[in-house]
Structure 1
Amino acid sequence: MAALWQQVLALDAKFNAYRTPNNPQFRTLYIRRRSQLLRENAKSECDLAARKDYLHTRAQLLNSRYGSPSFSDCGSIKSRSFSIRSISKNTGESFESMTVGVGDTRKYHRRHLSSGSLKHLYEGPMKRVYDSIEVVPTSAAEASRAMAGGKSLSENYAFAGMHHIFDQHTASVSSVKFAHDDKSRVACCSLDGTLSICQLIPPPATVICMLRGHEAGVTDFVWSLSNDVILSVSYDGTARLWDVAAGSCLRVIEDGGSGELYCCMFQPLNNNMFVTGSGRGNVQVMNMSTGKGYKGGSSKVTGKVYCLAFDASGKILWAGDERGSIFSFTVDVATGKLTKARRITVCEGQPVTSISARAWINREARDPSLLVNCCLNSLCLFRIVSDDGALQLKKTFPIKQRVSHIKSSFCPLMSFRQGACVISGSEDMCVYFFDVTKESKSCVNKLLGHSAPVLDVCFNCDESLLASCDAQGLVIIWKREGKQGIL
């Protein structure tokens, strides 16, 4: 029943852009009310066949009234060169190199492959090379199952519906993030040039404040470890530090190269230090107190820097660029000095839009890992194989991503569960949940409700709430089944 009402809601969302085009507030109110009614009706006793007939009839009526909706075609991967390389900057040695053309035949370590799709790519000889890190069931698996209440991973990530829908932004919401170790505060940034901070618990959910000051779209932001400061970057070429309590701007830091800024990160062990990535290909380490860069804390990559990620120790930094490469750097935590270490080409010419690092996933998958979004219709999971950030491809998951800056995330609670989950947005307007320990049928859930590409997703600290944002400026807060008590 729950799956059916989600399909009905997704159908409504698909046609929502066509309803009252001059009154977006009504469209948002309509979707909220439909969600409420469908959630209530899902609890009532009703013949499943009748509900399916309703879904079919409603689809016909909407198609008859509005016509078939047309969205940008995400497309499929055509004959492109998909390559993964890891090259030592210091020695120039290529310790790992692979190039396979999708749809043709190339050489790989003197062996010939013929692959017609990404699926074949990872089920052939490469699978034996890159799936060398296998998940081995242990006695801890049963302990994990017991601590998770004996539920399967798909049951753990079942959702009871929408907690709230925010529509305070007038343009695409590029990023959404919950505060650290906080169940109820979430912030988001938008290409309308503003950021917003929202309070979700106790109900009703409200917008606490709007942060205004950037002169162009805000591309990324991050909470400080203590949640008292937010750092944001923008197309206007500035980084801004915001006082969360006062809702005011503390400092404006100009980019020395006068280029657009796309991403930012606080240093995990020293929040007085942060890093930005620019449209000129610069990775810059900055001092929050002085607003100046560190000596030796700047490096240049091959294209626009779209995303950044630190490991837990703060000693390794990865940067993803517009040309399909990930660069790893070693970072001196005391001096802020950057040293370029590795270059890993995920897919030549396809932008890398998101990087997330995790020291270990769960008891049965303890490898340090990197989760990567790249515009090749796949979410990639890499294993971190050296102290300087070298990567080895472990597996991929199918999503729709060809042009949008889609982001993904590891689910925060993974220590005592059987299985391990990651979440990602997608251009097909869905939120995907994947179990990284499964060899097949890894998608354990899919949320339907957005009417535009989902750009970012984020759980709160106890996974009771999930936030997702889209290219039309909508932010949906979802609530987990079995977690309603805290709401």
Structure 2
Amino acid sequence: MAAVWQQVLAVDARYNAYRSPNNPQFRTLYIRRRSQLLRENAKVEHDPLVRRQYLKVRSQLLSQRYGTPSVSDQNSFRSRNASVRGSRQTLESFDDLQTGDFRTHRRYHSGSSYKYHPSVEEIPVDGVVPTKMAEASRAMAGGTSIDENYAFAGVHHIFDQHTDAVTCVKFANNDKSRIACSSLDCTVSVCQVLPSPATIVCVLRGHERGVTDFCWSLSNDLILSSSLDGTTRLWQVSSGKCVRVLEDTDRAEILSCQFQPVNNNMVVTGNVRGHIQVLNVSTGKCTKGGLGKASGKVLSMAFDPTGKILWAGDDRGLIFSFLCDVMSGKLTRCKRMVICEGSPITSLSCGTWLSREARDPSLLANCAINSLCLFRITDTDGGLQLKRKFGIKHRSLQIKSIFCPLISFRQGACIVSGSEDMCVHFFDVERAKKPLINKLQGHSASVLSVSFNYDESLLASSDSDGLVIIWKREQKSR
């Protein structure tokens, strides 16, 4: 009956172009997760009639929501996937197609303009998005509330290999088992948390001073790290070797770094002199026109999913937006937004939920005035409008926060942040009263960074004493 699940994926794929039309990366992520879940369910014994009925109902609901796909769309789909009743290889090859570089597909071409119309209601990711009365949809998600969904109570593992503050912790992209940690002890460690027991795969050594930030490449084969020694290093994960050292043109301390999300041959760094530089990995040099300027130390940066908008936060409480040319790396400064003068912006994260309650493209920012701020992205120049503020203890340290990768039928939308009160805080952004839905207490020092794996089964948090805790979701009996 695996063929039925392949047909379900084929139906979803036909309508994928209609989902979240302004965000191609979400369409890619959505179809990838559908593929993974369908493959897992195909291994479980189910009544064949139930599967066929599900396929029928799913097709009807998508058709009612989006209409019948055009002939050109159907022909395009058939040319990519000749038979929906094919073998397991057909399913995996389609998964690979959807998760590849979307610039190679006409519909996702990087030359297309990124448009956001706040006055127009965006299309939900699925044809069925529940309201408070949608009991059937809630049942599909397990019938749990958002509070129950984020009840991370158990500890899966504790890492203590670092001897100084762990500045950043991140799971690999679309991965639930690999995690990396950067530290002021001059190293970056790569760990495997599943299956148990958790192990340290390798420790990346080469920086002469503390590592301030890092990020995974899109394919997870490379790690980019920035350091107070004035260099950015590119590491090959499989060998643990440094394959390139990129020196800051100012020879200044580098506080943040990012891969260009669409073109991983380019990286962006921010230093203590307020300079934002786009570097070509192949040449090791700054791209022509790839230099931007903030008003103070560049503590944090974030791209939108298209790679066309870059935000940078500095230690003077300002956020700057830049347009980034994906091919040349040229930066054009667009907007200067004062969030809170004199209060550092220590973390920026761009995201969108697959949820009726929180559809707007958003930017999440930690501001060192005891606030976690959520902004709407209002235009194509990266303009921001404050949506909500949440209280955390944050006055001096480099506290980071994240969006939860909420891909489900549950109501609500959640964000998670570290804090100087030694706790991990969970907030429901759409809850008017008492938005704090959970607080994890286990660290004995300020929590600096947090990260989810892709299916939200594990959460990692790091602190200023060098400890990393891997939390596991509390299993609810049904």
TM-score (norm 2): 0.71
| Structure-1 separation of matches of 2:419 and 2:275 | 28
**Distance of 2:329 and 2:144 partners within structure 1:** 45
Residue 215 of structure 1 pairs with residue 231 of structure 2: no
In structure 1, the partner of 2:460 is 467
The answer as to 2:303 corresponding to 1:281 is no
Contact 1:414 1:420 in 2 (8 A): no
- Give 1:172's aligned residue: 165
Structure 1: state its 5+ residue gaps.
Answer: 1-131
* Number of equivalent positions: 353
Distance 1:271 1:415, change over 3 A: farther
Rate the CA distance shift 1:440–1:144 in 2: closer, same or farther, 3 A.
Answer: farther
Match of 2:284 among 279, 286, 291: 291
Match for residue 424 of structure 2 among 431, 442, 454: 431
Q: Contact 2:164–2:465 (CA<8 Å) still a contact in 1?
A: yes
> Is the 2:302–2:350 Cα contact (8 Å) retained in structure 1?
yes
Tell me which amino acid in the other structure corresponds to 1:222.
Answer: C
Q: Read off the aligned partner of 1:234 and give its amino acid letter.
A: S
Name the SS for the 2:357 alignment partner.
Answer: coil
Counterpart Cα distance in 1 of 2:203 and 2:260: 25
Instruction: Give the drift of 1:160.
Output: 4.0
Matched, 1:161 2:141: no
CA shift for structure 1 position 159: 2.1
- 1:320 matches 2:313: yes
Given that 2:353 and 2:406 are in contact with CA atoms closer than 8 Å, whether structure 1 keeps it comes out as no
TM-score normalised by structure 1 residue count: 0.70
Aligned runs of 1:376-387 on 2, under 5 Å?
Answer: 376-387=369-380
Post-superposition offset of 1:299: 1.1
Q: 1:350 aligns with which of 343, 351, 366?
A: 343
Whole-angstrom distance in 1 between the partners of 2:281 and 2:360: 33
CA-atom RMSD, angstroms?
Answer: 2.2
Check the 8 A contact 1:133/1:394 in 2, yes or no: no
The CA deviation at 1:149 is 1.4
Aligned residue for 1:145, secondary structure, equals: helix
CA distance in 1, matches of 2:180, 2:274: 27
Q: Deviations over 1:344-377 (max 9, x none)?
A: 1110000000000013452221111000001010
- 1:292-313 CA distance string (max 9 Å, x none): 1110010111000000000011
Partner amino acid, structure 1, of 2:226:
V
Identity across aligned pairs (percent)? Answer: 66
1:289-347 Cα shifts (integer Å, max 9, x gaps): 11111100101110000000000111100000000000000111111110000011110
The whole-number CA distance in structure 2 between the counterparts of 1:139 and 1:361 is 16
**Conserved in 2, the CA contact under 8 Å of 1:236 and 1:260?**
yes
Give the SS at the match of 1:271.
coil
How far residue 414 of structure 1 moved from its aligned partner, in angstroms, is 3.8
Write the deviation string for residues 96-150 of structure 1: whole angstroms up to 9, x where unpaired.
xxxxxxxxxxxxxxxxxxxxxxxxxxxxxxxxxxxx9999x95896565333211
Q: What code does the residue aligned with 2:366 have?
A: N
Aligned letter for 2:435? S
The structure with more strand, counted as a fraction of residues: 1
* Residue in structure 2 matching 1:236, options 226, 229, 233: 229
The answer to whether the aligner puts 1:394 opposite 2:381 as a matched pair is no
Distance verdict in 2 for CA 1:415–1:400, change over 3 Å:
same
Give the Cα–Cα distance (whole angstroms) in 1 for the partners of residues 413 and 196 of structure 2.
31
Q: Indicate conservation of the 8 Å contact 1:410/1:421, yes or no.
A: yes
Amino acid at match of 1:167: D
Contact 2:428 2:437 (C-alpha < 8 Å) held by counterparts: yes
Question: What is residue 79 of structure 1 aligned with on the other side?
Answer: none
Output the amino acid matched with 1:200. V
**Quick check: 192-201 or 353-362, which moved more?**
353-362
* 2:410 aligned counterpart, secondary structure: coil
Counterparts of 1:395 and 1:167 in 2: how far apart (Å)?
35
1-structure distance, mates of 2:307, 2:283: 21
Q: Is the Cα–Cα contact under 8 Å of residues 347 and 399 in structure 2 kept in the other structure?
A: yes
Verify the 8 A CA contact 1:141 1:364 in the aligned structure 2. no
Runs of 4+ in structure 1 deviating by more than 3 angstroms, as ranges, are: 132-135, 137-144
Distance in 2 separating the partners of 1:166 and 1:214: 21
Report the secondary structure of 1:155's partner residue. helix
Pick the aligned partner of 2:192 from 199, 212, 218: 199
In the aligned structure 2, how far is the partner of 1:483 from the partner of 1:189?
33
Q: Deviations over 1:249-278 (max 9, x none)?
A: 001111010100001111111111110001
Equivalent-residue separation in structure 1 for 2:320 and 2:408 (angstroms): 29
Query: Which runs of 5 or more residues in structure 2 are unaligned?
Result: 1-118, 125-130
Which of 323, 330, 333 is residue 326 of structure 2 equivalent to?
333
Higher relative contact order (CA 8 A, sep 6+): 1
Matched, 1:451 2:444: yes
The answer for the alignment partner of 2:90 in structure 1 is none
What amino acid maps onto 1:201 in structure 2? L
Equivalent in the alignment of 1:364: 357
Match for 2:472 among 472, 479, 482? 479
